[in-house]
């Protein structure tokens, strides 16, 4: 078997133009392997190709057919598990989708404003088709990219260490792979990029590829083919490789994914991005997404209360390899430099505490936090529901643990942690204060989109002045003639801030304390440079000048 190709899928049951099927499977060491189609004879023998995979070329497997093997292990490169992760696999032809996104152009990644979604709890239906019905809300908010938390299968019990993830499968209860293709098709029509979160941090190859010498080659093939499948067959715009730096030989793996994605881009003309997720509270590049999610999961929305945002700005764009050299031109920096952003590090101090917005002060702090995220010189991420104060828990362990390829259902211990998580409280969006907050978020995303100083992520074009004695931050960002000055007061008292010299008057762009946003009082509409300004408690005010 050729190790890599960007043209077609090599693992699982890919369908070629003549409907001949190559079945590749990778169960633990076995002396022989046979496949049964729809539980009927004859058994089809697979041959060990010596690389850790078993293969068969046949025309007896058709789309929609169920197949199982004699080891009673589920094919970990299956694309569809309609009876759950321990039932038979089902052949799916991902090449027959009718795509209408030929005119879609993936925006420069530094212009992304990301809206993160958990399919299970985003809508009452908990499906990808139900998500389609909410895309108008996402688009009107002003975001231009959705990040889908892992859509790969999950087991029914918590606290288990997975032996192998099903990285090629779309959870059946979400609607399966065809609904994901439909969602992405509609997103592109609506002008939304789609980012898929892949849970690499949970991978363990010890039982799937026990032969250490073959393991690295086989698992690299597994992950490269998986990334190519999402880009090629599902038209995904970007992948978050969560926890990839914890895998063996990361540099070789990333190089292989980049090279093959570059080849795919040369064939299709589509731009794709690889993102490695950094937990900004940690210095290590090996930080995983789960750390951020643990903080995000600490509170859930309850009726009548507005939850403060705990969203952190993202610094995902760290893979600027051969296929995405555009990143160097856009960012004018090397990939890791943004991790030294003083403003981003400073914000962590004010983002780590969750309180329920039951008072005016909490409401003002919520707006301040949201403003800080949208002016931060990193890619901003908003978590579903926070835009109307309904910051909601993602699915809990009952629906969140990756499926285990090598653990039978009767071996899973069920615990009291299995508690149902309800969908976002969409009805509360109609409440007056929540509508005000939603419009405030719309003004923030519009501000981010309209000012090059904000959407160009150049760490060499910003200054940060922090006054710890009064908890104020002065953030100055610029791009060419566009200058933006952001004054943030994290104190519970009014604070006086002295402005730097610009040589031109300043005009106000946004003020979280403005009565238009139910705030205590507006700051001046215009200022001269070197002025002093009194900033309302727990507020952000943004000014601009063009030289």
Q: What's the count of helices (H) and strands (E) in the chain, helices before strands?
A: 13, 20
Residue 472's pLDDT is 93
CATH topology of domain 462-546: Immunoglobulin-like (2.60.40)
User: What angle, 0 to 180 degrees and rounded to 10, lies between the N-to-C axes of helices 250-268 and 212-234?
Assistant: 30
Tokens found for residue 353: 């505490």
| Tokens 């490695």, residue located | 276
Residue 99's pLDDT is 95
Domain boundaries, the chain: 21-90, 109-361+373-431, 462-546
Q: What is the pLDDT along the chain (547 residues), one digit of tens a residue?
A: 456 666 777 777 877 655 556 666 555 556 677 777 888 777 888 887 776 677 788 878 888 888 887 776 777 788 888 887 778 888 898 888 999 999 999 999 889 999 999 998 999 999 999 999 999 999 999 999 999 998 988 754 433 334 346 888 898 889 999 999 999 999 999 999 999 998 887 666 555 555 555 566 777 888 899 999 999 999 999 998 877 777 777 888 888 898 999 999 999 999 999 887 543 222 222 222 333 333 332 223 333 455 443 333 444 433 333 223 333 333 333 334 444 566 766 666 665 444 445 566 688 988 999 999 999 888 889 999 999 988 655 444 344 444 444 433 333 333 334 445 578 899 999 999 999 999 999 999 999 999 999 999 888 899 999 998 999 999 999 999 999 999 999 999 999 998 888 778 899 999 999 999 999 999 999 988 678 899 999 999 999 986 5
Q: Where are the beta strands (DSSP E) in 253-376?
A: 273-275
Distances (CA, A) of 202 to 148, 154, 163, 199: 17, 12, 8, 6
Tokens found for residue 508: 């106000």
Residue 496's pLDDT is 94
Instruction: Answer for the pair 376, 425: CB distance below 8 angstroms, yes or no.
Output: no
Cβ neighbours of residue 359 closer than 8 Å, sequence gap 6 or more: none
Asked if the domains 21-90 and 462-546 are classified in one and the same CATH topology, the answer is yes
CATH topology of domain 21-90: Immunoglobulin-like (2.60.40)
382, 385, 387, 391: CA torsion to nearest 10: -90
Instruction: Answer for the pair 452, 379: CB distance below 8 angstroms, yes or no.
Output: no
Distances (CA, A) of 75 to 141, 171, 343, 407: 41, 15, 46, 13
CATH number of 109-361+373-431: 3.20.20
Report how far residue 50's alpha carbon sits from residue 24's, in angstroms, rounded to the nearest whole number. 12
Residue 439's pLDDT is 98
Tokens found for residue 509: 């762009």
Entry pTM: 0.83
Residue 504's pLDDT is 84
């Amino acid at each position: 078997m050729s190790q890599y190709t960007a043209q077609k899928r090599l693992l699982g049951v890919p369908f070629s133009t003549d409907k001949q099927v190559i079945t590749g499977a990778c169960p633990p060491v076995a002396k022989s392997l046979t496949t049964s189609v729809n539980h009927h004879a004859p058994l089809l023998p697979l041959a060990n190709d010596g690389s850790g995979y078993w293969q068969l070329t046949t025309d007896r497997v058709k789309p929609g057919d169920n197949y199982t093997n004699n080891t009673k292990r589920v094919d970990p490169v299956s694309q569809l598990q309609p009876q759950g992760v321990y039932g038979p696999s089902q052949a799916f032809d991902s090449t027959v989708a009718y795509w209408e996104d030929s005119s879609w152009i993936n925006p420069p990644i530094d212009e992304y404003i990301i809206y993160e979604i958990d399919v299970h709890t985003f809508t009452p239906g908990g499906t990808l088709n139900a998500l389609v019905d909410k895309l108008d809300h996402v688009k009107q908010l002003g975001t231009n990219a959705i990040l889908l938390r892992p859509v790969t299968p999950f087991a029914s019990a918590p606290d288990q260490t997975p032996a192998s993830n099903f990285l090629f499968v779309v959870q059946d209860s979400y609607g399966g792979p065809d609904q994901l293709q439909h969602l992405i098709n509609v997103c592109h029509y609506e002008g939304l990029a789609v980012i898929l979160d892949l849970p690499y941090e949970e991978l363990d190859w010890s039982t799937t590829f026990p032969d250490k010498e073959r393991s690295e080659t086989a698992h690299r093939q597994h992950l490269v083919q998986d990334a190519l499948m999402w880009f090629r067959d599902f038209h995904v715009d970007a992948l978050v490789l969560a926890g990839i730096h914890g895998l063996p030989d990361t540099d070789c793996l990333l190089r292989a994914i980049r090279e093959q994605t570059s080849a795919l881009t040369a064939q299709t003309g589509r731009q794709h991005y690889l993102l490695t997720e950094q937990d900004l509270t940690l210095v290590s590049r090996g930080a995983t997404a789960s750390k951020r999610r643990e903080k995000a999961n600490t509170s859930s929305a309850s009726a009548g209360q507005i939850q403060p945002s705990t969203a952190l700005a993202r610094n995902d764009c760290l893979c600027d390899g051969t296929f995405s050299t555009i990143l160097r031109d856009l960012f004018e920096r090397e990939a890791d430099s943004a991790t030294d952003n003083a403003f981003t590090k400073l914000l962590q101090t004010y983002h780590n505490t969750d309180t329920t917005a039951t008072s005016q002060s909490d409401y003002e702090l919520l707006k301040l936090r949201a403003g800080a995220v949208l002016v931060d010189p990193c890619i901003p991420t908003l978590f579903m529901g926070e835009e109307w104060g309904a910051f909601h828990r993602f699915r809990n362990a009952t629906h969140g643990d990756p499926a285990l390829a090598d653990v039978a259902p009767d071996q899973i211990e069920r615990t009291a942690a299995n508690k149902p998580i309800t969908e976002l409280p969409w009805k509360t969006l109609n409440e007056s204060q929540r509508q005000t907050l939603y419009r405030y978020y719309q003004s923030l995303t519009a501000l981010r989109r309209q000012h090059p100083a904000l959407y160009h992520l150049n760490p060499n074009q910003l200054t940060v002045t922090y006054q710890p004695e009064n908890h104020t931050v002065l953030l100055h960002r610029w791009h060419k003639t566009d200058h933006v000055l952001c004054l943030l007061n994290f104190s519970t008292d009014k604070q006086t801030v002295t402005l730097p010299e610009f040589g031109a008057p300043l005009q106000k762009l946004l003020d979280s304390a403005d009565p238009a946003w139910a705030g205590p009082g507006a700051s001046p509409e215009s200022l001269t440079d070197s002025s002093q300004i009194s900033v309302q408690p727990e507020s952000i005010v943004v000014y601009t000048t063009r030289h």
